[in-house]
Chain A
Amino acid sequence: MGTFHNDKGELHGITVVVDTNGAQVFVGRCDEVTDEGVILLDADVHEEGEGTASKEEYIKRAAMVGVFKKHDRILVPKAHVVSIRRLGEIAS
């Protein structure tokens, strides 16, 4: 059975981890990567800091079962994005 997505790039529909140059890391289903940044659907955001898990600890947990969404649709600005990885390719 075919897909029902528009041609929005190879990551469209794929659950990704978007790491930033700040304390935040995002996990969500990639809608599109544009000149503005990465648009994620059903996304969660984690902010590392005192008393919270590190980014890698959070990503490892997310890789096991996924995330509970905090945002239906968000834009992570391009200027802050340092990497985009497929969550399914991260060992849990």
Chain B
Amino acid sequence: MVAEKETTPNMPYDPTMVQPMREELTSIGVQELMTPADVDAFMADEAPTKMLIINSVCGCAAGSARPAVRLALQNENRPALVGTVFAGQDVEATAQARSKFADFPPSSPSIALWKGGEIAFFLPRHRVEGRMPEDIAAELREVFNEHCAG
């Protein structure tokens, strides 16, 4: 029934074009993880709660996810540690990050929250697509209030 179609090799976007998308998160204090070692250090941190954002260029979803994260992180309760990798740009760091929640299918953008070393919440790409940032932020705030209070 199904025909395999030829794929065009994924070419990384121009780093200068991507930079503003990085800064949309780093400018609010999100830690950028650009190497596997950065990811390992982030995961080794014993913070009680930590959130990792798999950023991406895609405007359909990441264009809402980034402002949603900015809004949600204004909440009183928030993860103790917040990091990000950029899919399609920092390829090795992204692969290392995804290996930390390998039971979840890879997608970007996506957001994972750990509490006490266990995944407490995962927001895959398809649950970002088509949503307004305010709507996603409200969901994230609920998650923060449940898992990051106190």
Contact = CB atoms under 8 A, between A and B. Distances in A.
Interface stretch (B4-12, B26-34, B41-49): B4-12
A4 B13 contact: yes
Contacts of A22: 1
Given A24-B1, A88-B131, A1 B6 contact: no
Nearest to A75: B3
A14 B60 contact: yes
Contacts of B57: 4
B11 to A, nearest CB: 12
A16 to B, nearest CB: 9
Among A14, A65, A73, the one with the most B-chain Cβ atoms within 10 Å of its Cβ is A65
Contacts of A3: 58-60, 63
B126 A87 contact: yes
Given A4-B57, A5-B60, A76-B2, A14 B104 contact: no
A20 B65 CA distance: 32
Given A13-B60, A71-B2, A1 B24 contact: yes
Contact of B4 (A13, A24, A73): A73
B130 A88 contact: yes
A86 interface: yes
B125 A66 contact: yes
Contact of A88 (B3, B4, B21, B129): B129
Nearest to A13: B60
Given A4-B57, A13-B61, A76 B1 contact: yes
A49 interface: no
Given A4-B58, A13-B58, A15-B126, A45 B2 contact: yes
B25 to A, nearest CB: 12
A88 B125 CA distance: 9
Given A72-B7, A74-B2, A88-B128, 14 more contacts: A13-B58, A13-B61, A13-B129, A14-B126, A14-B129, A39-B5, A63-B126, A65-B122, A68-B106, A73-B4, A77-B3, A88-B126, A88-B127, A88-B130
Interface of B: 1-7, 13, 20-21, 24, 57-63, 66, 104-107, 122, 124-131
Interface of A: 1-5, 12-15, 20, 22, 24, 26, 39, 41, 45, 63, 65-69, 71-77, 80, 86-88
